[in-house]
């Protein structure tokens, strides 16, 4: 993906879903300051590689971030937990490692989080019990261990 896409500062919807676009996600995507939706989901052949750019946290209006079905590696950046406008975060079916950042529990507007089918390890952070608007949380097919935090019990709608 060319870094020049970052010049399209007024784009509200960045959708490269289920197509042949491949390469890494350029950090210049953080220049898309009007972006509310960023869908890079691929079903079938994963095409986007590399790590999730920390610069995505600089998008002031981002409400949907879908990175599912690609080959993202590395850990979930802590900076994702600072996107206060985020309502949907999907990164399932990648090769993400590390642990679930506890500061994802600060995303008060988050309704859906899909992190299934990665290589995420460790325990489920108790801070996810703060996600009072969440109605879909998928952490399956990872290498998580320990117990489900009791704080998750307050997520009953």
pLDDT at 157 over 60: no
Question: How does DSSP classify residue 156?
Answer: -
Q: Which residues, other chains included, contact 80 with Cβ-Cβ below 8 Å and sequence gap of 6+?
A: 52, 56, 57, 65, 86, 89, 101, 104
pLDDT value at residue 95: 96
Helix (H) or strand (E) holding 82: none
Of 67, 120, 69, whose CA–CA distance to 93 is shortest?
Answer: 69
Q: Residue 146 pLDDT > 80, yes or no? A: yes
* Domain ranges (residues) in the chain: 3-155
Which pLDDT value is given to residue 44? 65
Fold designation for 3-155: 3.80.10
Question: Which pLDDT value is given to residue 120?
Answer: 98
- pLDDT band of 7, cuts 50, 70, 90: low
Residues 6+ apart with CB under 8 A from 4: 28
Q: What pLDDT digit, counting tens, does each position of 36-89 carry?
A: 988 888 776 667 889 999 999 998 999 999 999 989 999 999 999 999 999 999
């Amino acid at each position: 993906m060319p870094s020049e896409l970052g010049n399209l500062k007024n784009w509200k919807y960045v959708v490269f879903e289920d197509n042949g676009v491949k390469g890494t996600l350029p950090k210049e995507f953080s220049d898309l300051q009007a972006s509310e939706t960023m869908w890079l989901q691929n079903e079938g052949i994963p095409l986007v590689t590399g790590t999730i750019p920390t610069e995505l946290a600089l998008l002031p209006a981002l409400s949907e971030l879908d990175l599912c079905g690609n080959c993202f590696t590395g850990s979930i950046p802590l900076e994702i937990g600072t996107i206060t406008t985020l309502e949907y975060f999907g990164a399932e079916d990648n090769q993400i490692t590390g642990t679930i950042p506890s500061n994802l529990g600060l995303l008060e507007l988050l309704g859906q989080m899909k992190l299934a089918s990665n290589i995420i390890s460790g325990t489920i952070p108790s801070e996810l019990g703060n996600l009072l608007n969440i109605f879909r949380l998928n952490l399956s097919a990872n290498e998580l261990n320990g117990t489900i935090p009791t704080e998750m019990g307050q997520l009953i709608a």
